Structure 1
Amino acid sequence: MSVSDTPDWPTSHLLAADVAFVALASEPAPLALDCDSLARDIGKDPDLPSGVVPLPVLRDWLLKRPGDYGSRDAVWRELVLRARLRGAEWTIAAVGMAMPALVRIAGQLSAGYRGDPADIDSEVLTGFLEALRDHLDLTRPALYASLTMAAWRAGRRLRLADDGTVPVEDIEYVAAGSRTPKMPYGHPDLLVRRAGTLRIIDEADVQPWIEVRLGRRAPEPIAARLGITVDALRMRLARADERLAQAIAEGCLTEVASTSAVAATMAQAKRRTSIRAGRASTRGPAGTRGVAVAA
């Protein structure tokens, strides 16, 4: 690990995050999780300590129980949700909770590295944060293992580059004017935006579809922004997938659509909008829990 020339703050981003975590986890108001509520949220009874537990204490408790996967998933599901929905403070908290593993990964990858070990630290931290904010699927098990594996892969890419393994894209050179690509072609987001314009999918679903499907963004902040549940967002995007696939197969997005096809699509969109508005009026306040329904 790198040490800073300035004693007050480390040059390694990973160690800087550790310093920030220590500050957030210190008295008089350390960050903590209510472990009793975690047990209720997942509908099970994991062997978690009772009551409100400061994060450093909870981290030590988990480290002593490496095989308690249910409790670990319960804690990390809550940490990831808070990092995604509440911002920087809980992002630092999640990094701090994973710090023993991140430091170990960075140390292993730094052995024999010819560059600055702080670069390895930065890549490990970046890989962890990208998975935390956007790529980790909270419906799957082994959340902590997935996060640390993402950190390891990011650091390993830098090591491979240092060892002389440079990935080269397989690029097919086509002389200018030699041929025209077959349709559909162009950026996928342009096709999706055209689908929204033609009302093949609802315009309100265009940007969420681009963010989740193309940008691989986490669905939780997007659902919160829209005022719907994550399950409702997933259902809306799944139905948009079906409509997009059908439209592409029928040529509606890659050819000139007929007047009758446009009229039929508009009628379907109007019906979906009416159904969605009716359901929204009976679902209750945004963010309440219950059965998610999407048009």
Structure 2
Amino acid sequence: MWAELITRARDGGPAWTVGCVGVAMPGLKLVAARMIKNRPAWYIEAHTDDIAAELLTEFLAQLKRIDIHRPDIAARLMCWARKGALRIRSHERRDLPRDPATLPAAPATSEGTPESVLENAVRQGVISPLEATLICTTRLDRRTVPDLARERAIPAHRLYRERAAAETRLVNALQQGLLSSNPAD
């Protein structure tokens, strides 16, 4: 059945793709529920939309690529969807709250604030103003990437990719000492 559905989705247009998602919905819901099971309420509130969006994005991407001549198509699709959702969880683990007693003391001035680091990164050409806004909006203001993507009418996976690339350049510049967090620099 899945081989036929996927063949029609590939050749017959978006209605068949929606049909594939509809048939897979019970499995997708189960995967999503397992991803957030036993998580604290703040985590569920902050990340459920991102996990669901990435899960569905990966499922749809695999509809185009999956080998329909091999067995267990549905199970393989769910596995790929789960991998997409796991990427979000692994990205978000970096943002988990830590015990304040284990954190280094914050400076008394505005030097080194996330906003000043982003401003200097833009000024020094490490990231673009749009990338700084994306990082600030999704990391500091805690807006979800799917919400921002809907607002901008672009795919969420594109924003995830842009944010990851910008953050990588930002971290590399900081680690190499190429970027100062001092507002005066």
Question: For this structure pair, what is the TM-score category when the shorter chain's length is used for normalisation?
Answer: 0.3 to 0.5
TM-score using structure 2 length: 0.46
In our comparison, the structure showing a higher alpha carbon Rg is 1
